[in-house]
Chains A and B, each alone.
Chain A
Amino acid sequence: MTQQLLNQAIHHCSRILIGKQQQIKLAITCLLANGHLLIEDLPGMGKTTLSHTLAKVLGLQYSRIQFTSDLLPADMLGINIFDNQAQTFQFHPGPIFSQLVLADEINRASPKTQSALLEAMEERQVSLDGVTRTLPSPFFVIGTQNPAHQAGTYPLPESQLDRFLMRIQLGYPDREAEKTMLLQQYNGEKPQVSEVMSYAQFTAAQQLTVGVHASDELLNYIIRLVTFSRESQQFANPLSPRATKALLSAAKCWAFINNRDYVLPEDVQAILPAVAEHRLRSNSSDINAQGSLSQALLEAVDPLA
């Protein structure tokens, strides 16, 4: 039942973002695993559209912060303003107090603002002037960023990249998809985005994914993968225990979306590039070699052994 709803949601999103079903599926998996999502791609690839659509479809309260180099933490978190009438400070919550926050072009903000956001992501609460305020639940951040070599960016440090459960890349649509997109525009059809499931249903689904069974063999496979990343000389940044946990929870959610109550090695393989790619860093100075790191990791480890 729940799986049906989720698949409907995926289907719905892919009507908006044509030909990107796998990425949408991964994004929903990420949210289902209660993780934050980082979308990295060139401008104009549909990053914002995806996050916007996700919020709508899953019935989440949505706000968007456009990151610029002069954005200050207060702009995002909120501010205490003196109320003359009440003779008290009144707290005006910032855009971060939403269930789904789109942090657009996250790497354009100064490191100070970035770390304020990332603290909120990890703690799911905000401390301002000595008062700690809890953020709404569920709380998701979808960050988008341009590839690091674009002008005017502050690349996120590894420690902050690690906070994102997944990083996905949208990539160019294939010919068919792009043609469909053009035709839609030409015909003036604009697919309407509607809510497919309520956030209560979504939270319930999150609860169900915990029950997905991961056998000993599967856990061993994950451990082997992680250990390989630490023992091999290929990776400068091996996978952290946080990444290990992320791998398992993402794999469980993937299995859940695929209508299974147990995890298969294929599930791990499916989510691993999204979960691990941004955490690994190549040891070699060869820039071209960096793209295939998670692929190399997968190919080095036998799921059966």
Chain B
Amino acid sequence: MSLWHKFIFKSKRNKVKQSAARDRQHQANNPAFIICSLVLIIFDLSLLDTVLGWISLLVACSVTIRIAIYFAYQKHMPTLRTLNLLALLSIIGLIYSAWPLGFLIGMVNLLVLACALKLMQVRSQRDFYQLVVSLLFLLGCGFIFQQSMAFTLLYSLLSLAVILALGFFHAPNLKVKQQLKQLTMLCLQALPIGLLLFLLLPQLPPLWQTPKAKSSETGLADKITPGDIARLSQSSELAFRATFEGNAPTQQNRYWRAIVMEDFDGRSWQIHPLRKQNRRFQQLVQQEFSPIVAGPSIDYDVIAEPTQQHWLYALDIAVPRTVKSQSEIWQSDEFQLISHQPLVSQYQYALRSYVQTMPRQPLSELDRKLNLSLPTQGNPLTQKWVSTLRQQYPHEQAFINVLLDYFKTENFSYTLRPKPMFVDPVDTFLFEQQAGFCSHYASALAYSLRLGGIPARIVAGYQGGELMAKARQQQYLSVYQYDAHAWVEAWLPDSGWTRLDPTTLVAPDRINFGLRQAMQEEGSFLADSPFALARLTNIALFNNLRLLLADMDYNWSRWVLGFDSQKQQDLFKAIVGKLTPQRLAMLGLAIVAVIGLLLTLFFMPHWYANRLNPVQALYQKALTLLGKNGQIRAHWQGPLDFSLHIQQHLPEAISQPFKRLTESYLQLNYQTQGQDKHKSVSHKKSINTMRRELRLLKNQLSKHQFL
């Protein structure tokens, strides 16, 4: 605005507001900053495990500063010098503290840190855009760590809030209602494009390695020391879900195999190192074990929750059902299913289990060796007891029956709160305490069998699960961490590997009705988490709520998270019929074309208007050139004023061509009269003048090293 305006606006009450009107966008009391602060702090809280403590502290500081400035408790922003120093220190701190955490976590922390610092620093429009883009990217990163429906909802809301902040930044005076209306419009426009991209664009595998840390905290561990599983039984977290094509097997038959443990050192069981070595070798030569199967089968899909591990869950004896599952799952000698990729997010796979076929596989040399190996010392009472028994009962089946009878006849009890057994745990358990849970029984039985010369091993996995079924819907089973279980497999010459579960003899309820029923008297079911909804099954309302939530979560996992390339291909098939590469390519192109077309239609009027008038276009080019050199025309500034501004701020060599160009522009645009003005000779002449001056301007700018 030209100088004289200041005269008019000189009266007292206007003076303050005049500059305020100009910078209202960047003013600290713009709600946009508060919204961004809230988004950042909420995001930080949602990932408190991942984000480093001191970075969270920095986020809190940054948000506090913003709030203080917003409510004018504090008038001054931190200076750039302070922020630069802080940034430098933070980077050093980050390198030091995030190095051991791996690339991904480090990057996420870096991003949170950057957002916090940016929030302190935001001054200009560019800063704010950077902040908004970083926040959106950060929210996207959140999905690496949190994928449940609740978090998806939260992150979506936060993304919307960021866009709302963008709206507020540009129109701070607009009412909230109006802003929301605009936001809704934007979202509705974006929704079809988003859906199209989600459904039809190729789903790429992750581009980077996701973290594998913290494996032993939840889920099964690859090592059982009796006493370990008691802790697991107390967690009501979901382990996996299974959807059955037909009817689900009965409760007693739901033995979900996860890990087979063959190495016993007298105290704890784990996967045998030799087995691991063998597995690696087989995977290397791409050799896979395939069990001989026959008889009736059950088809089902499993959606496993992330464990960061490779093991998968299956009913005996499982074979991958689809091509995709086959390519992603590797089967090892002990019927264990292993995923090639660790389960960093929910993972769905399709299986077929042959329930009634007992595994009649021959016992390999390696199997025999591993499953008969005994620790050199310890548990002397058991050793003596077994050797006496074995002499009495030379036949394997009889020997096994006697062992099982011992559990039945002696006063054994099932408890989730066993006393710790440090020295000779099997002796203590069998002859002194006689109280424990599944892994105590499994460990004692398997050890005794090995002492008796029968190959035996422990299988860890889950038993049971909660069946959810609705009319017209497939049955599905939710298996929780408290369903964790361990049982024994013994190899008998006539029947091969045979499942033996000593827990059934002691606590039939555990197998028939689940842990909740079995622990009713003791009251120890989920004793550590008094507020778990699973504890409140007696109250109908809460139980219904729990089942409803579980159901919603199931559908979310199945239809949204489970939408992988396989499902996508099914969808493609439904759309284009037979799937050929050409058709696939055509479809991809069509999608991109449709989106492109929509965008073109949207921007067309703008482009067209610009192209229509050569006078406007030439002038705009000159403006762009000057803009690149830091002389940006305020969008309300008139051409004459801007020319004067340039004359004041740039050397004459540059300002003169621009002045002449502006004169021609003004003449063409505002002075010339008449309908035929576009055809007249002087018109063309003036345009040529503009072209010439534009070239001159360009040359001068580059000569003065502005470009």
B14, A292: Cβ atoms under 8 Å?
yes
Instruction: Collect the chain B residues with CB atoms within 8 Å of residue A292's CB.
Output: 9, 14, 17-18, 20-21
Complex-state Cα separation, A23 to B11, whole angstroms: 13
Q: B606-634, CB under 8 A of A: which get 1 and which 0? A: 00000000001001100000000000001
State whether A303 and B636 are in contact (beta carbons under 8 Å apart), knowing that A168-B8, A233-B174, A262-B671 are contacts in the complex.
yes
Residue in A23, A269, A301, A304 whose beta carbon sits within 8 Å of that of B1 in the complex: A269
B638, A303: Cβ atoms under 8 Å?
yes
Total of A-B residue pairs, C-beta within 8 Å: 107
A-B contacts, 17 listed (Cβ < 8 Å) = A168-B8, A172-B11, A233-B175, A264-B670, A265-B639, A266-B638, A269-B641, A270-B5, A274-B8, A291-B17, A292-B18, A292-B21, A295-B5, A295-B17, A302-B635, A303-B638, A303-B639
Chain A nearest Cβ from B76, distance in angstroms: 22
Chain B nearest Cβ from A61, distance in angstroms: 30
Q: B1-18, CB under 8 A of A: which get 1 and which 0? A: 110110111110110111
Complex-state Cα separation, A31 to B74, whole angstroms: 50
State whether A169 and B636 are in contact (beta carbons under 8 Å apart), knowing that A262-B671, A266-B641, A269-B1 are contacts in the complex.
no
B17, A22: Cβ atoms under 8 Å?
no
A195 on the B face (CB < 8 A): no
Q: A290-305, CB under 8 A of B: which get 1 and which 0? A: 0110011011111110
Instruction: Collect the chain A residues with CB atoms within 8 Å of residue B9's CB.
Output: 273, 291-292, 295
> Which stretch from A64-72, A213-221, A239-247 is at the chain B interface?
A213-221
B22 on the A face (CB < 8 A): yes
State whether A233 and B173 are in contact (beta carbons under 8 Å apart), knowing that A295-B21, A299-B22 are contacts in the complex.
yes
Instruction: Collect the chain A residues with CB atoms within 8 Å of residue B5's CB.
Output: 269-270, 273, 295
A171 on the B face (CB < 8 A): yes
B639, A288: Cβ atoms under 8 Å?
no
State whether A301 and B13 are in contact (beta carbons under 8 Å apart), knowing that A233-B174, A292-B21 are contacts in the complex.
no
State whether A296 and B21 are in contact (beta carbons under 8 Å apart), knowing that A213-B673, A269-B2, A270-B4 are contacts in the complex.
yes
Instruction: Collect the chain B residues with CB atoms within 8 Å of residue A218's CB.
Output: 670
Complex-state Cα separation, A122 to B634, whole angstroms: 39
State the A residues within 8 Å of B (CB): 20, 22-23, 41, 168-169, 171-172, 213-215, 217-218, 233-234, 261-266, 269-270, 273-274, 284, 288-289, 291-292, 295-296, 298-304
A270, B2: Cβ atoms under 8 Å?
yes
B672 on the A face (CB < 8 A): yes
B411 on the A face (CB < 8 A): no
Q: Interface size on B (CB < 8 Å)? A: 38
A172, B10: Cβ atoms under 8 Å?
yes
A171, B4: Cβ atoms under 8 Å?
no
Residue in A264, A296, A298 whose beta carbon sits within 8 Å of that of B640 in the complex: A264
State whether A291 and B670 are in contact (beta carbons under 8 Å apart), knowing that A264-B638, A273-B8 are contacts in the complex.
no
Instruction: Collect the chain B residues with CB atoms within 8 Å of residue A296's CB.
Output: 21
B7, A304: Cβ atoms under 8 Å?
no
Chain B nearest Cβ from A33, distance in angstroms: 17
Chain A nearest Cβ from B394, distance in angstroms: 96
A262, B670: Cβ atoms under 8 Å?
yes
Q: Is the interface of B mostly helix, strand, loop or mixed?
A: helix
Chain B nearest Cβ from A238, distance in angstroms: 15
Query: For chain B residues 640-655, which have a beta carbon within 8 Å of chain A?
Result: 640-641
Instruction: Collect the chain B residues with CB atoms within 8 Å of residue A217's CB.
Output: 669-670
Chain B nearest Cβ from A6, distance in angstroms: 17
Query: For chain B residues 25-79, which have a beta carbon within 8 Å of chain A?
Result: none
Complex-state Cα separation, A298 to B641, whole angstroms: 14
Complex-state Cα separation, A302 to B634, whole angstroms: 9
B666 on the A face (CB < 8 A): yes
Residue in A264, A273, A298, A304 whose beta carbon sits within 8 Å of that of B616 in the complex: A304
Most buried by B among A214, A233, A265, A273: A265
State whether A215 and B670 are in contact (beta carbons under 8 Å apart), knowing that A169-B8, A273-B8, A273-B9 are contacts in the complex.
yes
B13, A264: Cβ atoms under 8 Å?
no
Chain B nearest Cβ from A180, distance in angstroms: 16
Residue in B16, B17, B635, B640 whose beta carbon sits within 8 Å of that of A266 in the complex: B640
A171, B11: Cβ atoms under 8 Å?
yes
Instruction: Collect the chain B residues with CB atoms within 8 Å of residue A23's CB.
Output: 7-8
Chain B nearest Cβ from A166, distance in angstroms: 11
Residue in B8, B636, B670 whose beta carbon sits within 8 Å of that of A263 in the complex: B670
Chain A nearest Cβ from B608, distance in angstroms: 14
